[in-house]
Structure 1
Amino acid sequence: MQKFISSLQNPNVKRILQLQEKARARKKENAFVVEGVREIHLAIKGGYKLKELYYNPELFPAEKAENLIPFPADLTELSPEVYEKIAYRGSTEGVTGIFEAKELSLENVQLKNENPLILIAEAPEKPGNIGALLRTADAAAVDAVFIANPRTDLFNPNIIRSSVGCVFTTQLATGTTSEIIAFLKQHKIAIFGAALQASVPYDSIDFTQAAAIVVGTEATGLSEEWRENSTQNIVIPMAGEIDSMNVSVAAGILVFEAKRQRRSSAISGSKFKIHN
């Protein structure tokens, strides 16, 4: 039976707000909030289980809400006042879902490509940067994204919003720097760290092999552990007055160079020099 909530004091309203605002609440319930039709579709397509769907019929008709649910889930209509309270975005579409979280473990990663391309970010903190990295990963169709030493809950609504749902479209895993390095070595994946120290130009590297591209924060760059364990450190030559750029921009340059090489290699069989 469909439910209806019209009171701002309803316990479910307070619960939704807690899930939006508190990483501790998300962890305790193993759930997170997704707002918007596209993001909900992408979460479902990405294998996340929709537990509850909330909508306001003035913005999102009941039949659309019912059709959005691919399997049994609680459906609740909200009054305009209540939906306005839980709406996270200014221009809301009138539909919000609660999903069951996944364990973002390295053990769950499945690399189906013989020469996988993995994007790794060490200790990113700003949701906007993380969202942009995930959008880049989706656009390039990388095999996986790893977040080393995460400082932000990846089911934070700001990350879901800034990634426009791309947090659900690519294999995603978290771990310590040591754990991820061990994973890469176990799977014989070359490590290319974006760092100024002992580096070569990024476009002189062979990215057609199994490769991981690692970027650090704009403030501190990559940790010494990454630099020491890299197959080769790489740098994007810059002709301006500063020696750094936004991490998501740098990741985009590196990832799409790897994709360009792979397309060229598939056509011509050409190889780039590998620096050791």
Structure 2
Amino acid sequence: MKEITSIQNQYVKNLLKLQEKARERKKQGLFIIEGKREISLAISANYQFDTVLFYPELISEKEILHLFNENINRIEISKEVYQKLAYRASTEGIIAVTKTKDFSLNKFQFKNKNPLILVAEGVEKPGNIGALLRTADAANVDAVFIANPKSDLYNSNIIRSSVGCVFTNQIAVGTSVEMISFLQEKNIAIFTATLQNSNEYHKENYTDSSAIIVGTEATGLTDIWREAATQNINIPMQGQIDSMNVSVSAAIILFEAKRQRGF
């Protein structure tokens, strides 16, 4: 088993690149996960792991082997190295270097014949994407589609804010054009959350195959989604503002769909 004690180590410098740069994650096909819960969720989702780094004052090698197996490549790191690599303070002393998955839409297959899907178009803030993934997991939707993504899903902020739900959801990534074509080919109704020419969300029927489409809080959805919609829907506001956080809006509509489906 190897040991790394210096933050000047080239491997450590490469891990910092993986944390900070999407192009490095894409180029190397690797990303970083911190924390036992997040790593456990990735294990359950059949992610493959390259290397596990651990700080023995916080987690023992025995605990590492309990999570993985004796064949996993393990590196013991010093406190200095751990503090340099750790994205947040409370990650239990474990960092996993993990192989990325292909989120291409053309490889996506539904497990359910009557799916409920959340589609998020052009959402920029990693925290909002993470919150949407948490919402999707809570509602146990069949898929989350990210249209026109502004950040790759292995961004550390997304993993952290999703509390690992980037691993629990079935995800596909693509352009809005590709996703509209995909949904129409599968005869999936498209319900776009927008104020223009819309009905109140609770008056629609989501019991058949349905996709709930949400956009950015600043600009909403692009015209292509509104034009492709089976029905535009809105959440009636009862206060003085005219919008809510995108993950809150998604949650309201998704749980109405789940209620109609008897869950």
Q: Same fold (TM over 0.5)?
A: yes
1:72 positional shift = 3.3
Rounded to whole Å, the distance in 1 between the matches of 2:212 and 2:71 is: 40
- SS of alignment partner, residue 66 of structure 2: helix
Moved more, 135-144 or 81-90: 81-90
1:58 matched to 2:57: yes
State the SS of the aligned residue for 1:114. coil
Structure-2 residue corresponding to 1:225:
224
Render the CA deviation track for 1:97-153: whole Å, top value 9, x for unaligned.
011001111122221212100000000110110000000000111000000000011
Residue matched to 2:202: 203
Distance in 1 (CA, whole Å) between partners of 2:195 and 2:69 is 49
Tell me which residue corresponds to 1:273.
none
1:72 and 1:257 map into 2 onto residues whose CA distance is 46
- Alignment of 1:191 onto 2:190: yes
1:213 aligned partner: 212
* Matched letter for residue 121 of structure 2: E
Partner in structure 1 of residue 45 of structure 2:
46
Question: The residue matched to 1:120 in structure 2 has which SS?
Answer: strand
Q: Percent identity?
A: 58
Aligned to 1:115: 114
CA distance in 2, matches of 1:91, 1:112: 35
2:246 and 2:24 map into 1 onto residues whose CA distance is 29
> AA paired with 1:159?
I
Amino acid at match of 2:146: I
Q: Which residue of 1 aligns with 2:261?
A: 262
Q: Structure 1 residues 66, 258: closer, same or farther in 2, change over 3 A?
A: same
- Counterpart CA distance in 2 for 1:104 and 1:256 is 25
- The letter for the 2-side match of 1:191 is I
1:31 maps onto 2:51 in alignment: no
How far, CA to CA, are the matches of 2:47 and 2:230 in structure 1?
Answer: 35
The CA deviation at 1:91 is: 2.0
Secondary structure of the residue aligned to 2:132 is helix
Kindly provide the amino acid, as one letter, of the partner of residue 78 in structure 1: I
Q: Aligned partners of 2:154 and 2:6: how far apart in 1? A: 27
1:30, distance to aligned residue in structure 2 (A): 0.8
Residue aligned with 1:85, SS: helix
Q: One-letter code of the match for 1:10?
A: N
State the Cα deviation string for residues 214-269 of structure 1 (Å, max 9, x = none). Answer: 001000001000000000000001111111111000000000000000007xxxxx
Q: Within 2, Cα distance between the matches of 1:60 and 1:248? A: 34
1:188 aligned counterpart, secondary structure: coil
For 1:44 and 1:9, locate their aligned partners in 2 and report how far apart those are by CA, in whole Å. Answer: 30
SS in 2 for 1:113: coil
| SS state at 1:193 partner | strand
Give the partner amino acid of 1:89. R
1:136 aligns with 2:132: no
TM-score between the two structures when normalised by the length of structure 1 = 0.93
> For 1:180 and 1:55, how far apart are their aligned partners in 2?
40
Q: Residue 239 of structure 2 corresponds to which residue in structure 1?
A: 240
**Cα distance in 1, alignment partners of residues 69 and 119 from structure 2:** 32
Give the match for residue 78 of structure 2: 79
After TM superposition, give the deviation of residue 71 of structure 1 in Å. 7.4
RMSD: 1.0
Other-structure match for 2:180: 181
Counterpart in the other structure of 2:18:
19
Distance 2:69 2:116 in 1: 32
